[in-house]
Amino acid sequence: MKGDWFKRFSDGGKLYLNDESFQPALSAIKEDLPTYLEYIREGDKVLEAACGPGYTAIPLSHYFKVTGFDRDVKVLDAARQNGEKYGKDVEFVEADFFDIVKAFGKNSFDAVSSGGVLEHFPKDKIKTLLDLQLEVAPIVFAQMPLFTKEQVEGVNQFGIETHHYTKKDYLEDIFKGYNILEHRTLEKRPVFGRFREFMAVIGR
């Protein structure tokens, strides 16, 4: 996934959590908690993939033992500061998504989750990343915004590429052949703006 994420977060005022931004992030996780708890238990080990400043990893750490990883050290530095302020059981590690088996080991977590990450990769890369996540943990929670075609700019001013994938693309193409345990559309997600999100739970 190309692009200057640090600049994107800092220019957008999204690098550091505050009370105003943390509360909706926590509410979003509370809303999703019943889904997580269908597959893992409270206190289980969750790897939060390409965690950014920790908008998902940090609220998740109120319920699970979370390791967030990202390849951008400046973003990770912000995530650590956010974690100290708002996290519970959370650590942040520098790693590349494509190296997670090497970095963390096979079967090292109970689940891998990601939010707002997979739609930045081409379809073949998403499949590679799913295979890697399923080596690291038996359950994958994946959340992707369902942008409209107009909201997807291709490559934006930060060099970040976003793909316009529909729910049908995920179910009938990208995730085809995978063990989709559950999927649903979340009507509104308040953290990075208002758009629908698609969540899929994938098992081995």
Ligand X SMILES: C[S@@+](CC[C@H](N)C(=O)[O-])C[C@H]1O[C@@H](n2cnc3c(N)ncnc32)[C@H](O)[C@@H]1O
Nearer to ligand X, 157 or 177 (CB): 157
Nearer to ligand X, 50 or 202 (CB): 50
Q: How far is the CB of 147 from ligand X (least distance, A)?
A: 12
- Of 136, 122, 31, the closest CA to residue 93 belongs to 136
Can you tell me the distance from the alpha carbon of 141 to that of 155, in angstroms, rounded to the nearest whole number? Answer: 26
In whole angstroms, the minimum distance from the beta carbon of 39 to ligand X comes to 19
Report the greatest alpha carbon distance in the chain: 42
User: Would you say 53 or 179 has its CB closer to ligand X?
Assistant: 53
C-alpha 77/C-alpha 89 separation (Å) is 17
Quote the tokens at residue 196: 């629908």
Smallest gap from residue 116 Cβ to ligand X (A): 4
Instruction: Determine the residue with CB nearest ligand X.
Output: 52
CB of 103 to ligand X, least distance (A): 10
> Per rule CB under 6 A, is residue 83 in the interface with ligand X?
no
Pairing of strands 111-115, 179-186: unpaired
Shortest distance, position 79 Cβ to ligand X, whole Å:
8
Segment lying near ligand X (by CB under 6 A), choices 16-24, 95-103, 149-157, 178-186: 95-103
- Please report the DSSP string for 28-80 in residue order: HHHHHHHHHHTTS-TT-EEEETT-TTSTTHHHHTTTSEEEEEES-HHHHHHHH
Provide the binding-site residues for ligand X, judged by CB under 6 A: 1, 5, 50-56, 70-72, 75, 96-98, 115-117
